[in-house]
Amino acid sequence: MKQELQTATLRAIDTSVGVDQLLEIDKRATLMLGKVRDAMLAPHPAKDAPRFTTTTLSALCGIDRARLNYLIGKGDLPPGEAKGVGKSRTFSLTEARQWIRAESGLPFRPNGQSGVSIVAANFKGGSTKTTTVMTLAQGLTLRGHRVLVVDLDPQASLTSLCGLLPEKDVVEGDTVMPLISGEATDLGYAIRPTYWDGMDIIPSMPALFAAEFHIPSQVISRRNDPSWQFWNILGNGMKSIREAYDVIIFDTAPALSYLTINALMAGDGMIMPLPPRSLDYASSTQFWSLFSDLVENFRKQGFEKRFDFVSVLLSSVATDTSAPVVRDWIMDTYQQMVLPVEIPSTSVAGATSAQFGSVYDVTKWEGSQKTYQRARQAYDGFVDLINQKIAAKWAAGQEA
């Protein structure tokens, strides 16, 4: 009797999920994401870049306050804005970048040199690829460069970080898809400005996943065309953007997908962000195993891949876990490729990401200054190291 009752109750509740329910979930999620985004961007309809104080600006230019004031007096550079007498001056990002280009003495792209492309890749989701791309892009604009970020992940987190809602603000034709399908031959069509001066984006959206079907189908249909290589579609579409930008950065999906392979082959440099946790380490080793097989195969077909640099970035490093042990494994495996800087696991990266931002979006950190400075210094150190590698590539190009 009891048994019968239970069976009857179980039958009464239908917990199965069919296509209609899945479509319903999608509708609710899209609606909710729209609300979440509007709430986070309130009271502004779009994202805003921070303003810079005289202290931050002199640090970014590497000059002291006296010289800054002298230059303001001289009037060649934008004077910023002081809201009222005795109020301190602030500068917009655009103004700050003019100052940096004029005063920092940092290396810039020499005439005739192409933009340097960098790809962030790792097998594992959550290994801080997107955060790394965003902070690197922002950091490089603060060193005077013009940067293009290319979102190749159909999940489009980078697109969201740049203030666009992939499902609402981006259609398939705005992504790299027209290049992939052969409709376009150069990526120039897809460039969009962002809220951040000096950083433009080629956005992504979920339909970019179709590239994973398009490319293999062309492998078959174009097998008699030796000029078409499935791993070089992206690389062949970069002519105009290599001219227009100093640095081009690809964000990739957590998989060795066709798009990721294209980005790896199009990258002059590669960065693998790697949190020192055992699962992330294990997945990084799988990545190298599959990727090296792949490039070996390409070599047999006459195409030899060479990176100008490969860097492993210890990222989201926690202080209280197995980090020291795993860090040893990482050092033993990746040796001199491991950058001599590490990004701490920090509420600054986490909390600001929830607001679609990064450490560089913070105008005034409400929490502990020590926490903010620690994160900021780590990211600055990382950006400086990559900036040196970019400059080294240009210098080598000048000598050649």
Which residues contribute to the site for ligand ADP (CB under 6 A)? 125-131, 157, 254, 315-316, 343, 345-346, 349-350, 353
- What is the β-pairing status of strands 192-193 and 52-53? unpaired
Comparing CA positions, the residue from 183, 256, 154, 259 lying closest to residue 215 is 259
Query: Which of Mg ion, ligand ADP, none interacts with 316 (beta carbon under 5 to 8 A by kind)?
Result: ligand ADP
Choose between 127 and 262: whose C-beta lies nearer to ligand ADP: 127
- Residue 128 interacts with, from Mg ion, ligand ADP, none (CB under 5-8 Å by kind): ligand ADP
Instruction: Please state the closest distance from residue 313 (CB atom) to ligand ADP, in A.
Output: 10
Q: Which residue is nearest to ligand ADP (CB)?
A: 353
Contact partners, residue 201, CB within 8 Å, separation at least 6: 148, 149, 150, 151, 158, 159, 162, 164, 191, 192, 193, 194
Minimum distance from CB of 102 to ligand ADP (Å)? 32
Cβ 363 vs Cβ 51: under 8 Å: yes
Cis (ω within 30 of 0) for the bond into 43? Answer: yes
Nearer to ligand ADP, 110 or 350 (CB): 350
Residue 159 interface partner, choices Mg ion, ligand ADP, none, CB cut-off 5-8 Å depending on type? none
Nearest to ligand ADP of 90, 157 (CB atom): 157
Interaction partner, residue 235 (Mg ion, ligand ADP, none; CB < 5-8 Å by kind): none
- Pick one of Mg ion, ligand ADP, none as the site partner of residue 96 (Cβ within 5 to 8 A by kind): none
**Could you give the 3-state DSSP secondary structure of residue 309?**
strand
Smallest gap, in angstroms, from Cβ of residue 137 to Mg ion?
14
Q: Mention every residue, 6+ apart, whose C-beta is less than 8 A from residue 20.
A: none
Q: How far is the CB of 346 from ligand ADP (least distance, A)?
A: 5
Closer residue to Mg ion (CB): 129 or 376: 129
Q: Which does 193 bind (CB under 5 to 8 A by kind): Mg ion, ligand ADP, none?
A: none
Shortest separation between residue 319's beta carbon and ligand ADP, angstroms: 12
Nearer to ligand ADP among residue 114 and residue 346 (C-beta): 346
Residue 127 interacts with, from ligand ADP, Mg ion, none (CB under 5-8 Å by kind): ligand ADP
Q: Look at phi and psi of residue 255 and say left if phi exceeds 0, alpha if psi is from -120 to 50, else beta.
A: beta
For residues 1 and 39, which CB has a smaller minimum distance to ligand ADP in the complex? 39
Beta strand 199-202 pairing with 269-274: unpaired
Q: How far is the CB of 376 from Mg ion (least distance, A)?
A: 22
Catalog residues that contact Mg ion under the rule CB under 5 A: 129-130, 157
Place of tokens 């600006």: 57
- What are the CB-based long-range contacts (under 8 Å, 24+) for 220-229? 229/303
Least CB distance to Mg ion at residue 130 (A): 3
* Sheet with 81-82, edge to edge strand ranges: 52-53, 89-91, 81-82
Whole-angstrom distance, CA of residue 303 vs CA of residue 296:
9
Least spacing, CB of residue 153 vs Mg ion, in Å: 5
Nearer to Mg ion, 109 or 129 (CB): 129
- Report CA 373 to chain centroid distance, whole Å: 21
Query: Nearest-CA neighbor of 109 among 54, 139, 147, 64?
Result: 147
For residue 126, the partner it binds in ligand ADP, Mg ion, none, with Cβ less than 5 to 8 A by kind, is ligand ADP
- Using the minimum distance from each CB to ligand ADP, give the nearer residue, 90 or 127: 127
* Residue nearest Mg ion by beta-carbon distance: 130
Given its phi and psi angles, is residue 112 left (phi above 0), alpha (psi -120 to 50 degrees) or beta? left
